[in-house]
Structure 1
Amino acid sequence: MTALPQTTRRRLKKVPQIPSVWEGDRRPLGGMASSLEPEMEGDGECIIWVDGSEGCVRSMEIVPPDTGLEAVVRTLLRAIESPHHPAQPARPQKIIVRDREIQFFLRGALQNLDITIEYAPDLPLIDQLFQSLEEISTTKPPSLPPHYENLLQETAEQVWEEAPWELLADCDILALDIENREIGTVYICAIGMMGAEFGILLYRSLDSLKRFRAAALQEKSAAQLEQAFLNQDCWFLNFEVDRQEVEEEEEWQDSETTDIIPCFGSLHPYEGMRPFLDEEEAKIVYIALETLLRFVRQYSQDLEPEQLPKISAHYTISLSSTANTSEIVSVQIATLPELTQELLALGDDSGLEVMPDGQEVDIAIEEDLIPDGSLVTLGNVSWKILEQLKKQRKTYYQSLNLSPRGANLPAIVIQTSRPKAMSIIETIQRAGGLKAVCFNPGNDPFTGETYDLGMLQTGDGKLHVFAEYPHDFPQHVQALKRWHRHCHQAKGYCGLIIAMGATGAARGNPQPQDMLALFEVKAVNGEELGMGMLQLLPNLDFE
């Protein structure tokens, strides 16, 4: 047993002693642990010191069960020297505990402090306090009303499997009107294209949606973003990974449905975040999710193009009111292309000067940078791999000192042989590095074919074509749609990876050791470079 240092005892004896009796105890939290200390793994224990004369808690600490008795002394010293407001520093005349081991430990640790330490089998104040905490814990409302719990859980699983965020970006808002409901228009927002988090937001206010969107796109502090988040007015369905079932390194897309936990709740400026829904809210959320599922299934092909079309639909939803009765609800859902463009405009902070309409620009477009047979992929790279590449001596890294946003950085991967990869890297270096990645529409006037040209702009201003994406291939259209949304979520930045191994076992899936260069660049569109529709014309050379 260790007594307090002499310097500490002298300091404590300078604290005024008052004629009061304090109660102290250490108790397991049980079911209250998640409420008092959400991040603690296991049940945890609570160390608490209460002033019996004033009826106030002077100090409290949540500790793991295997923490030693030293923590009891630490908490007591805080109760003496820096108690919870409004209590003032003070030294009690007597301390009462209900644990003999704690009593003997304190007698040894608090020698010469003129504090009497006694044992009592009951501690009325602490008993009453814990009884109140247990009542609060047991009366906590369920996250979903019992009658709708299974229905909403099943619907959430369908939403996860359908993945509406694969078709709808967070700026592609849907308007939902429910017949004979007091609630006005509900604005549906799917989040998940960036791969960082997945869910559905159901905004009760369009102004709230716009305000949060504007705040999230601005460079703000974490505290300001948290305040903007809590000021939203919406219901939400978020999906979380069950970390007990999924290894930390696994990606979202590798998780099975059974590993995903749906979480329902509400956000409101006056309530903050509330992790449960009442019965009326559960009805509205179910109607909204069921309508969204039907809409996405019916119009999946129409939602693939980059430009969100104007679509509206009517559905009737069967809503079970009780175990034996049900009601039919009529709903209308529609896309809002104008709102999508308005939200996209909020994030248009690229800083690049757009050329006036009709003004011709003279930009050289070349097609010889990327060798024939190269494998070009639109994908993403995790920030963890980016950090690894920065330290990898054989990898050339052009850095813009980007701050991580989301789980990954959108990236174009060009895979070829090692000699050809080195030639690409050297050519880009000689041209002053990589300036931008660009996609621009083009057409062949002879065949009528339309496509998007993927181009790299080097430091000397030249454009180098790396791929063509015909518009009559739905998979190409969808891949480009995802790419643009990912870049928008990344605030207009992306990466270009030059890798070797196009003919080996790593073809299509290069590993970090295969990556010879990574360029962090700005993702722009043709208009920002002053281009319009490009036309394929024959190169006629008359002598």
Structure 2
Amino acid sequence: MAGLNPSTFRRLQKLQQIPSVWEGDRRPMSEPLPIGSSALSDFDSENGGDCIMWVDGSQGMVRSMDVVSPDTGPEAVVRTLLRAMEHPHSPALPGRPQKIVVKDREIQFFLRGALKDLGISIEYVPDLPLIDELFRGFQDVVDRKPPLLPPQYVESLEEKAHQVWQAGPWQSLADHQIISIELEGWDMGTLYACVMGMLGLDYGILLYRSLESLTQFRKRVIANDSPERLEEAFLSQDCLFITFESAEEDDEIDLSDLPPSEIKPTFGNLHPLEGMRAILYDEEALLTILALDAFARFFRSVRRKLTGGKFPNLSQRYQIPVPEGGARQGPENVAVTVSTMPELAAKLFEMSVSARDYEDDEDDEDDEDDDEPLLRDDLVPPNSFLSLGVVPWEVLKDLEASASYYQSAQVHASGDGLPIILIQTSRPKAKTMIETLKKAGGVRGIGFNPGEDPMGGNRFDLGILQTENGDLHLFGEFMEDDPVHVAARKKWDGRCKKTKGYCGLVIAMGLTGASRGNPQQKDMLALFEVRSLSPKDINLGTLQLMPMPF
């Protein structure tokens, strides 16, 4: 065991010895310590771990405290004691005690070795009344702290949240497509549900208490882009919220790749005068349960009508059972009317489009002299999985209904199915691709064009996609002599003949995990039915690979 170095020993000997008895102890803390006493000002009260405390029993004051990791050695007890002697909490003055009492034999023996020759008596006692009283006070404060969710509603809240997660409304609804939830007989009136997650960034639902709060937030976000203004706009919202996270708290993983058992819902409240809190009180929890229940029922029943970006005028009425255990008195069921709000959705979408168009106009002014590339290669994300395949006709019909975005064509259903190009990437990148293609007016056609490397002598089969605005996008480079690609191209050409020149583009998520290279129907986010293009239609001639400049 390391002893005190000579200079520290001499410094402690110079301290006045106080005729008092100090209590010392180290105890595990299952909850963070409460804030409020000046004795706690020198440590981070948010940490758990073991609490070390030294108290002057004669004067009844805490001289020093610390919170350490449970695996920290007994040296931490000595460090806290030395601080109690030399730098005690105010109003205590520096000094050495005549006696120290502890209720842990290991601490007693360690202190005797570390503090020998300092003239301090170190004794064992079975009880430490002053420290016991302090810890009882701490526990009382912890016990009075409200839980994050009312205990009687925890099970119902989590059940309804998981129903929403499994329904996956963000696969069909963008954040401007608002759904109203009117609860009859409640002073809350109508909630306005905004679904987050279509871009695969943050999954959840915001339940706004007023349309004014919703629209004002959108306007402030569009108008102000500084971090301070955005934070102010965020805190000005008036809503309940439900978000979904990984139970493992892994920020890098796409939640859509996880099984439902690994998804954790969190709940909270936002209000301009309260800010954000991660606590729901009884009435808020009950309101959230009813709203989520009604929302999940509605979405499941109208899901097929919301595919391909469609948002028609729909409305349904439900009798939602009130969960047991609440203090609220009333009927066993609440009448709830759930409706889409297409006019509001159009207004919110126009707000965002106008803002983007303004930014694009500014960018266009800066880029007037820039030449557009003949063939763009910025559409498909790096490391995407590409393949030429086929979707059987019976599967295609289901995919047309389930895809988040569907571009239809008068396809001639002949042969074993629709030939398709599959591009599989992560959910956020897939959503970005889809938005880019939608902004370009959709996809006009897909084809292949010859390419060559004059220096290396290699020849390529270049996969090219044309959008409705005329842009050409490279989606893949295939070696012309690759037997796998040669076989796939042969099947592709034969299938396109049978469909009378029709093919498709499927954009899917799930790049990592079991679905890589074999996406399931739920992973397929977009289906574009388009014409197949010949090299003559593309009209680029043989493209040559340009050498990189040094």
TM-score by length of 2: 0.59
SS at structure 2 position matched to 1:299: helix
In structure 1, the residue matched to 2:391 is none
1:155-175 CA-to-partner distances (Å, cap 9, x unmatched) read 222101101122223343333
Partner amino acid for 2:332?
A: S
Residue 131 (structure 2) pairs with residue 133 (structure 1)? no
Aligned counterpart for 1:315 among listed residues 314, 317, 335: 317
Contact 1:173 1:340 in 2 (8 A): no
- Cα pair distance change 1:329/1:437, threshold 3 Å: closer
Contact 2:443 2:467 in 1 (8 A): yes
Shift of 1:26: 0.7
In structure 2, list runs of 5 or more residues that go unmatched. 36-43, 380-385, 389-419, 447-461, 489-507, 513-535, 540-550
Contact 1:153 1:262 in 2 (8 A): yes
- Cα pair distance change 1:177/1:11, threshold 3 Å: farther
The equivalences for 1:96-245 within 5 A come to 96-111=101-116, 115-138=120-143, 140-206=145-211, 209=214, 232-243=237-248
In structure 1, the residue matched to 2:339 is 333
**Distance in 2 separating the partners of 1:229 and 1:11:** 54
**Distance in 2 separating the partners of 1:328 and 1:199:** 24
SS at structure 2 position matched to 1:133: helix
User: How many matched pairs?
Assistant: 414
Shift of 1:247: 8.7
Partner amino acid for 2:71?
A: D
Shift of 1:235: 2.0
Contact 1:164 1:190 in 2 (8 A): yes
Aligned counterpart for 1:344 among listed residues 343, 352, 355: 352
In structure 2, the residue matched to 1:400 is none
Contact 1:24 1:49 in 2 (8 A): yes
1:31-55 CA-to-partner distances (Å, cap 9, x unmatched) read x369999997xx8322223344665
Residue 67 (structure 2) pairs with residue 62 (structure 1)? yes
**Distance in 2 separating the partners of 1:89 and 1:380:** 65
**Distance in 2 separating the partners of 1:373 and 1:66:** 53
Shift of 1:205: 4.9
Residue 302 (structure 2) pairs with residue 286 (structure 1)? no
Residue 260 (structure 2) pairs with residue 252 (structure 1)? no
Contact 2:32 2:46 in 1 (8 A): no
Shift of 1:182: 1.4
**Distance in 2 separating the partners of 1:18 and 1:210:** 67
In structure 1, the residue matched to 2:95 is 91
Partner amino acid for 2:322?
A: S
- Cα pair distance change 1:170/1:51, threshold 3 Å: farther
Contact 2:55 2:62 in 1 (8 A): yes
Contact 2:206 2:241 in 1 (8 A): yes
1:414-459 CA-to-partner distances (Å, cap 9, x unmatched) read xxxxxxxxxxxxxxxxxxxxxx9775555xxxxxxxx44699xxxx
Which segment is superposed worse, 267-276 or 166-175? 267-276
Shift of 1:380: 4.6
SS at structure 1 position matched to 2:287: helix
1:68-111 CA-to-partner distances (Å, cap 9, x unmatched) read 10111223344455556x55663352543222321232233235
The equivalences for 1:35-50 within 5 A come to 44-50=49-55
In structure 1, list runs of 5 or more residues that go unmatched. 383-406, 414-435, 443-450, 456-463, 471-494, 512-537
SS at structure 2 position matched to 1:266: strand
In structure 1, the residue matched to 2:502 is none
**Distance in 1 separating the partners of 2:119 and 2:46:** 38
Contact 1:44 1:63 in 2 (8 A): yes
**Distance in 2 separating the partners of 1:274 and 1:220:** 23
**Distance in 1 separating the partners of 2:101 and 2:353:** 66
SS at structure 1 position matched to 2:199: coil
Contact 2:464 2:476 in 1 (8 A): no
- Cα pair distance change 1:467/1:497, threshold 3 Å: closer
- Cα pair distance change 1:285/1:55, threshold 3 Å: farther
**Distance in 2 separating the partners of 1:100 and 1:23:** 14
SS at structure 1 position matched to 2:156: helix
RMSD: 5.1
SS at structure 1 position matched to 2:307: coil
- Cα pair distance change 1:341/1:20, threshold 3 Å: farther
- Cα pair distance change 1:169/1:44, threshold 3 Å: same
In structure 1, the residue matched to 2:496 is none
Identical aligned residues as a percent: 39
1:186-218 CA-to-partner distances (Å, cap 9, x unmatched) read 232222233343222223355655676677776
In structure 1, the residue matched to 2:26 is 26
Structure showing greater Rg:
2
- Cα pair distance change 1:58/1:310, threshold 3 Å: farther
Contact 1:22 1:92 in 2 (8 A): no
**Distance in 2 separating the partners of 1:50 and 1:25:** 9
Partner amino acid for 2:113?
A: G
SS at structure 2 position matched to 1:238: strand
SS at structure 1 position matched to 2:293: helix
**Distance in 2 separating the partners of 1:136 and 1:272:** 23
- Cα pair distance change 1:248/1:364, threshold 3 Å: closer
**Distance in 2 separating the partners of 1:350 and 1:468:** 26
SS at structure 1 position matched to 2:163: helix
In structure 2, the residue matched to 1:76 is 81
**Distance in 2 separating the partners of 1:289 and 1:226:** 27
TM-score by length of 1: 0.59
**Distance in 1 separating the partners of 2:95 and 2:54:** 12
**Distance in 2 separating the partners of 1:138 and 1:315:** 42
In structure 2, the residue matched to 1:518 is none
In structure 2, the residue matched to 1:295 is 298
